[in-house]
Structure 1
Amino acid sequence: MPKSQNSLTAWRRRLVQRGVHAAWAWAQRAGSVSAEQPGRLRFRSLGPHTKLAFPLGTVFGEPWIELGSYCIIGEQVTLTAGLMPDLDLGAETILRIGDGVVLGRGSHVIADTTVSIGDDCYFGPYVYVTSTNHSYDDPHQPIGKQWPRAEPVEIGPGCWIGTGAVILPGARIGRNVVVGAGSVVRGVVPDHSVVVGAPAKVVRRWTADQGWQPPLRSPAPSPIPAECTPEQLLALAALDEETLARLAALDERQATRPAAGGGQAAARPRRVRETAAE
C-alpha cells in the first residue's frame, strides 16, 4: 500500500476515534442524573449537587430511595429498593443515603429492607451492600428457591469502605470506620475502628483514653496550609515528573557540596522550587 494511502487511513482512524470520544463524552453529560435532570427516575428525594454518572446501573424502587446533597454515584452503580420493580413498599423510606456520599464504580446497594448510609461515607469501586441473604434451612430445596432472610443494615457517617468489600445483612458499622478492601462485614463494628478480613475482624481501634491501639506506625499527613491559594495548588500540580526529578537532583548536588557558600547555597534549591510553583 502506498505511503500516502497509509497516512490517509491513519488520519481517518484518528478522526473517527476523536468523534467517538466526543460523542461518548456528550452521552456521559447528557445521560447523568441530577435533581435538575432526573430523567425517568423519580426518587423520594434527590439533593442538590448530587449526580448519578452515566451509564447507570440497575435502579428501581426509587420512590423509596432518598439521596442526600453533594453525592457522587459512579458509573454502573446499582441502587434498588425491594425484591423487584413495581412493588408497593409502604410509607417508609427503604434506602437512605446521606450527604456527601461517594459510591465507587460498579458498587451495589440492595435494600430489600432498610439500609442507611451516613453522611460523608466513601466507597471504593465494586462494594456490595445487601440487606438480604439466601437461606438454606430446607436441605431438600434448592437454595435459590428458598425464601431469603432480610435484616437492616446501618453504616455510620464518615466511613471508608475499601474496594470489593461486602456488607452483609444485619451489619451495624459505627462512625469513622475503615473497612479494608475485600473484607466481608457482618454484625456490629465499633466506632473509630479498622476491620479487615473475611469475616472482618477489628485490627485497630481509637478510644478517647488510649488513642489508637495498636499505635499508628506513621505520623498523620500534614494538611494543606490554610494560606495556600488555589492558584498555587494548580501551579504545583503543573510540575511534571521531569521538573521534580531535576529539583531532586539539584538538592542532592547541593547536599554533597562543601558548605563554603553558607546559607545562600543551602537556600538556592528552595528558591528554585518556590519559583517553579509561582
Structure 2
Amino acid sequence: MKVNYSKGLLLKGVPVIFNKKGANISIGENCTIKSSFLSNLVGLYSRTIIVARAPAAYIYIGKNVGISGATIYARKGIIIGDNTAIGGNVKILDNDFHPIEFEERNKLLNDKNGGNSDLVPAKEIKIGRNCFIGCNSIILKGTVLGEGCVVGAGAVVSGKFEDNSVIVGNPAKTIRKLK
C-alpha cells in the first residue's frame, strides 16, 4: 500500500486516507488538506477522505492543491492538476459505487468475497491545472476538466469541458469562457 506525499503538506485536522493493496496515492508539494470543522468557514460536513479502493486504482494530486472536507474516491483513477482549489464538501467519484442494473447489484450484494469490483462502473477523472471547484459540487466518473475551469457551487459535473470554462448547474453545463 503506497501513499506518497511531498514536502510542505499541511494538514488542518485529521483526514482519512486509505488505499487497497496495489493502489497508489500521491500528494504533491505544498498541498493543504482541511478536515476540521472550523478550518473552512463554509462549514465542512466531514473530514477529507481520500480513498483508492481497487488494487490498480490511483489518485495523483498535484502541487499547491487545496482540499476542504472533500471526498476523493477512486476505483480506476483520479488526477488533480497543480494549483487547483477543491471547495468544502466536494465529492470526486470515479465510480458509481454499485451497478445500475438490479441483477448486477444483487450479485454484488450476495458476493461473500467482498464484492466484485468489475461489476461497478468506473472511469478515470482528470482535473486540469489552476481549476476551482466550488463547495458541495459533485464530479462524476469520466469527467475531464480542462485547465483553468471554474465549477460553481453545487454543480453536478459529468462530461468533458474545455479550458477556462465556467461550469454550473445540474446537470452542469458551460455558461461562459474565461479569458
RMSD over equivalenced CA pairs, Å: 2.3
Contact 1:66–1:96, Cα closer than 8 Å, also in 2: yes
Superposition deviation, residue 141 in structure 1: 5.0
Q: 1:173 aligns with which of 115, 122, 145?
A: 145
Segments of 5+ residues of structure 1 without an aligned counterpart are: 1-40, 84-88, 212-278
Q: 2:50 aligns with which of 68, 72, 79?
A: 79
Q: Aligned letter for 2:91? A: Y
Contact 2:155–2:171, Cα closer than 8 Å, also in 1: yes
SS of the aligned residue for 2:176 comes to strand
Aligned to 1:47: 6
Q: 1:148 aligns with which of 120, 123, 128?
A: 120
Change (3 A) 1:122 1:140: closer
Bigger fraction of residues in helix? 1
Aligned to 2:100: 136
4+ residue segments displaced more than 6 Å = none
Aligned to 1:199: 171
Q: Aligned letter for 2:18? A: F
2:146 and 2:129 mapped to 1: Cα distance? 8
Segments of 5+ residues of structure 2 without an aligned counterpart are: 36-46, 110-115
Q: 2:81 aligns with which of 118, 121, 125?
A: 118
Change (3 A) 1:143 1:126: farther
Higher CA-based Rg: 1
1:183 and 1:55 mapped to 2: Cα distance? 27
Give the percent of matched residue pairs that are identical in Structure 1 and Structure 2.
29
Contact 1:116–1:154, Cα closer than 8 Å, also in 2: yes
1:140 and 1:122 mapped to 2: Cα distance? 36
Change (3 A) 1:179 1:143: farther
Bigger fraction of residues in strand? 2
Superposition deviation, residue 94 in structure 1: 0.6
TM-score, normalised on structure 2? 0.80
1:53 and 1:42 mapped to 2: Cα distance? 22
